[in-house]
Amino acid sequence: MKGSVSLEFEVLSGLYTGLKGKAAGGDSIVGSGFDADMIFVEQGLEPHHLRVIAQHDSIEVEALAANISIDGLASIASGERVRVPLPAVVHAGAMSIRWSTEDVQPVSSSKRSRSLTLALSLVLLSSVVIGTVSTIFAPGDRAVVPSTQSSRTVEIATKPTVDHSDPRAADEMAVSLRQEIERAGLLDVKIGRGPGVVTAEGTITPNLVVKWKEIQQWFDRQTNGTTTLVNAVTVKEEKMPSSIAVQAVWRGSEPYLLIAGQKYFVGALLSNGWTVDRIEDGRVLLSRNGRSAALPY
């Protein structure tokens, strides 16, 4: 009998960092709605945010909402579907989830129907009841979602409890994290903080994805689970500026460009978001977020 595909997942960032589990073969909808297959609340997810379809050695990721990206790829537009080899890290909302797979023999030939298999809450509850499905904390330090004949079973690793007793820890880590991202050149990432939580939001270019993951790993080592990093950073491809319609150039003691009847001196911000860095003979040098571009005029 041909084996089916069992997907394994691990949450790498966000409030559910460290969560591990398994999902049966087929497709799984990830979102914040109670009718999704995998539910993560207060993580910036839509009720149905993405669909993950298991293959033998890869997965297909279908974007059902915006703010989705995959390591090594740019953001995926809503409605787009891509196929990526395993293991793969998918970023959605404030979360990063690593997917991997193993071949298993099917235990039943009955047709699988989609049902609620994973109920996760931002507030740690002793039990969660949704319809007729409840989360029970069983012996062995893991929570098990009971299954019927047509439901999936997911094993969940216990999530460490975050200590909110000392707000100074989050304040200090926010300062340290801000210094790290500045040293790494992640100029569009903004850091905030709350009780026991540090937040990161903004955009990075694809070439900075690895650096950002290294910083997140550094954060986890520094905090050892006592402070949570809420990751809302998305990957965005930054386009080079197009040509600018320069009407005239003055290269005196205070050089400037004349564009659409307006003077732009060195340091001025153009409408495309780039800054005039230098005005040279035959070209103007622009800069933005540490990147430079030379445009002829």
CATH topology of domain 4-157: Tumour Suppressor Smad4 (2.60.200)
Rounded average pLDDT over 147-159? 37
pLDDT value of position 116: 36
Residues 255/279, Cβ–Cβ less than 8 Å = yes
The residue type at 50: L
Pairing mode, if any, of strands 4-13 and 88-92? unpaired
Percent of the chain at pLDDT above 90?
18
Q: Which residue has the tokens 């930054």?
A: 238
pLDDT of residue 24 exceeding 50, the answer is yes
Predicted confidence band of residue 102 (pLDDT cuts 50, 70, 90)? low
CA-closest candidate to residue 231, choices 12, 38, 8? 12
Query: What is the CA angle 211-215-218, rounded to 5?
Result: 140
Residue 240 CA to residue 230 CA, distance in Å, equals: 30
Cβ-proximal residues to 51 (8 Å cutoff; 6+ apart), any chain: 27, 28, 29, 30, 61, 62, 64
Predicted confidence band of residue 25 (pLDDT cuts 50, 70, 90)? low
Q: Which residue has the tokens 């905030």?
A: 192
Residues 257/246, Cβ–Cβ less than 8 Å = yes
End-to-end CA distance of the chain: 69
CA-closest candidate to residue 69, choices 272, 281, 233? 233
This prediction's pTM: 0.39
Element (H, E) at 22: strand 20-23
CATH topology of domain 167-235: Alpha-Beta Plaits (3.30.70)
Most confident of 3-7, 82-86, 283-287: 82-86
User: Taking the mean position of all CA atoms in its chain, how far away is CA 208?
Assistant: 13
Residues 61/68, Cβ–Cβ less than 8 Å = yes
Residues 120/31, Cβ–Cβ less than 8 Å = no
Summarised one tens digit per residue, pLDDT across range 174-211 is 999 999 998 888 888 999 887 778 999 988 878 888 99
Cβ-proximal residues to 168 (8 Å cutoff; 6+ apart), any chain: none
The residue type at 121: S
* DSSP-derived secondary structure for 203-243: EE-GGGHHHHHHHHHHHHHHHTTSSEEEEEEEE-PPPPP--
Please state whether 259 falls in left (phi above 0), alpha (psi between -120 and 50) or beta.
Answer: beta
Residues 205/236, Cβ–Cβ less than 8 Å = yes
Lowest-confidence pick of 94-103, 140-149, 173-182, 216-225 = 140-149
Domain boundaries, the chain: 4-157, 167-235, 248-296
Summarised one tens digit per residue, pLDDT across range 215-252 is 999 998 888 878 888 888 888 766 666 677 888 888 88
How much is the CA Rg of the chain, to the nearest whole Å? Answer: 24
